[in-house]
Amino acid sequence: MTETIDSSPPPEKPDPHGTGTTATATATDSGRLEGASKLRIFSVLGVIVLFSEVVPLQYTMIGTAVQKIGLDFPSAGNNIGWMIIILGLVGGATTPIIGKLADLYGKRLILLACSIPFLAGSVLCALTHSWAMFLVGRALQAVAFAMAAVAAGLIRDLMPRRMVPMAIGVIATGFGVSALTAPLLSGWLTDHWSWRSLFWFLMVYMLVLIPIFWLVVPESKLKTRQKLDWLGSLLIGGGVALALIYLSNGQQWGWGRPSAWSYLVVGVVLLVAFYLWEQRAADPIMDPKLLRAPRVAIVLAIGLFSNMIIGVQFYAVSYMAQIDEKVVKEGTIAGFAEKAGIPVDAMRQGLIFHGDIGYALGFSLMALAVHLTTWQSIPGMFTGPAAGQWATKVGLRRPYIVCLAVMTLSMALYALFHGSWGVLLIIGIVYGLAFGVYYACANNLVIEAVPQEQQGIGASMLALTQSFGSAVGTAILTAILSAHTYQVSTVAQPGAPAQTFDIPQVYTDDGWTIGFWAVAAAGVVCVLLAVVMKAGRTPATGGTLH
């Protein structure tokens, strides 16, 4: 049975702000900063946000540099997307365990613990010249993906109740380190040094914040007295990992090959076993009744499908914009000429390119930041906190439906119009508005639905489905793109028939278009689920129901 350790004083007086909660900690509360000065409250909030913002920061910085990094790892081939996929795979497998550990041993302690593998992974990625070891480094960084979920739980424990919806909106979109600084910094570092400097920066960022976090942020006094369900942890972690391996490699291996789909079968079996085990476990990772409850299950399902959109949008726009059509063609011609031992001009007449890559803007990382990613990120900084505040008046369901509909519309627009940076900029700004609202609503819906003593694992289950969705979306896109590679053919000559070759890591316009339509379909599912859900129809309370 789950027992909450109460180490806080009993309530003394009514809440002066009229929220229906007490001004001091309750029996299920722990060190809440009711009555603290505004400077104290916002200092704690600011440091938590900056510390957890390393997750979107590294995602933004590395995600925009995928094409550049791929050039240094030619052995990766069409598997270059694995540097993003592995984040969802490892992050998804470890997040439930880390979230539960946060409920058991303290959220501040676990956040600090997550920084250690992140530091190790950053150093490894910065130094290695091996694709396999680079993926190991990315896997270590992925452990930090649980930080956002744990940080949301820490904010729920520490912030005054009236501030929780707004504070969750802030942590959802950050203070601009990832939104404003990351794209520009990524471009500047890569243009002046190399992509390796991105990982050195992430290491320094974390090293600076660790002592500040230690000194400023108090530990939550709310801890759950129970044992960690190691069997359940292994079952859900292994199930998620195996299923993602199949989804990520099915196109390359062949979807129907027994050696491929056996990963999926075993993964699904483990996930079913996890659910059955949790129903009988003395100390389940998360109460199975909560997982079945529509107020939780629908939010998790939307998290899965919506993050297919989020993962694909970020990966696709950045990747497409950095392809340079002239460089691709001239580089291919030069390579054939060198291999054949003939002049480049002569070889130019003997090659025919197949497919359209008119989307290729040829942007450097800095140009990408200046023209697209920075402007796309800014709106969410304002709409996230605003959505949290709005929800205290109208509930979470209404802004949730609106943002999901806008995200879906954005994917349809990307599918139809992605040939110029001006159009991409407009669509990106519209998408960015919805992006901030989504994360504020999703995290607040979990807070409203889950008891406080299970907040760490509740937020982690949301993070799990979101990571899984991002990885699935990227894997689906990769499979589509692999079937639409940009190709070049030699001109047939006597004794030398024409041959066609794929140009590695370059894909036709049709591939990107189909990919956007695929995730737009996932968005339609999200909207339908949000329309029928009953949760979020009353004003958000910051979790006072629990």
How far apart are the C-alpha atoms of 25 and 221, rounded to whole Å? 10
Which H/E stretch holds residue 171? helix 164-173
C-beta atoms surrounding 422 within 10 Å: 10
pLDDT at residue 302 tops 80:
yes
**Structure confidence at residue 308 (pLDDT):** 93
How far apart are the C-alpha atoms of 41 and 32, rounded to whole Å? 10
**Structure confidence at residue 520 (pLDDT):** 96
Alpha helix locations (H) across 417-454?
Answer: 421-449
Q: What is the pTM of this model?
A: 0.77
State residue 501 phi and psi, 5-degree precision: -130, 145
State the helix-helix crossing angle for 374-394 and 164-173, rounded to 10 degrees: 160
The CATH code of domain 38-228+283-532 reads 1.20.1250.20
| Proportion of the chain above pLDDT 90, given as a percent | 21
Closest CA to 430 of 461, 400, 451, 402: 402
Joined tokens for residue 132: 């396999």
Measured between its terminal Cα atoms, the distance across the chain in Å is: 18
pLDDT at residue 67 tops 80:
no
What one-character DSSP code corresponds to residue 177? I
C-beta atoms surrounding 162 within 10 Å: 19
Q: What pLDDT band is residue 16 in, cutting at 50, 70 and 90?
A: very low
**pLDDT tens digits along 518-546:** 999 999 999 999 999 998 888 887 666 55
Closest CA to 526 of 441, 423, 427, 424: 441
The residues facing 496 across adjacent strands are 493
**Structure confidence at residue 309 (pLDDT):** 95
How far apart are the C-alpha atoms of 207 and 122, rounded to whole Å? 11
**pLDDT tens digits along 311-349:** 899 889 988 998 888 888 888 888 888 887 888 888 888
| DSSP per residue, 177-232 | IIIIIHHHHHHHHHHHS-THHHHHHHHHHHHHHHHHHHHHPPPP--EEES---HHH
State the helix-helix crossing angle for 509-532 and 397-416, rounded to 10 degrees: 160
The stretch 206-233 carries a mean pLDDT of: 84
Residue 42 makes CB contacts below 8 A (sequence gap 6+) with: none
How many Cα neighbours within 13 Å face the side chain of 436? 31
How far apart are the C-alpha atoms of 331 and 360, rounded to whole Å? 15
Report the sign of the C-alpha dihedral through residues 388, 144, 111, 456, in that order.
positive
What does the domain layout of the chain look like in residue ranges?
38-228+283-532, 229-282
Let me know if 370 is exposed, middle or buried by CB neighbors in 10 A (0-12, 13-18, 19+).
Answer: middle
Q: Could you tell me how many helices (H) and strands (E) the chain has, helices first?
A: 22, 5
How far apart are the C-alpha atoms of 3 and 22, rounded to whole Å? 22
pLDDT at residue 8 tops 70:
no
Lowest pLDDT segment from 28-37, 323-332, 394-403 = 28-37
Which 3 state secondary structure label does DSSP give 74? helix
Closest CA to 334 of 348, 352, 354: 348
Identity of the highest mean pLDDT range in 103-117, 271-285, 511-525: 511-525
Joined tokens for residue 182: 């990351």
If one compares 517 and 161, the residue with the highest pLDDT of the two is 517
How far apart are the C-alpha atoms of 282 and 366, rounded to whole Å? 54
| Chain mean pLDDT for the chain | 81
How far apart are the C-alpha atoms of 271 and 316, rounded to whole Å? 30
pLDDT at residue 17 tops 70:
no
Q: What pLDDT band is residue 25 in, cutting at 50, 70 and 90?
A: very low
Which 3 state secondary structure label does DSSP give 214? helix
Count Cβ neighbours within 10 Å for each residue of 386-400 and write b for 16 or more, e otherwise: bbbebbbeebbbbbb
pLDDT at residue 9 tops 80:
no
Q: What pLDDT band is residue 515 in, cutting at 50, 70 and 90?
A: very high
Which H/E stretch holds residue 303? helix 294-322
pLDDT at residue 188 tops 90:
no
Joined tokens for residue 17: 């702000």
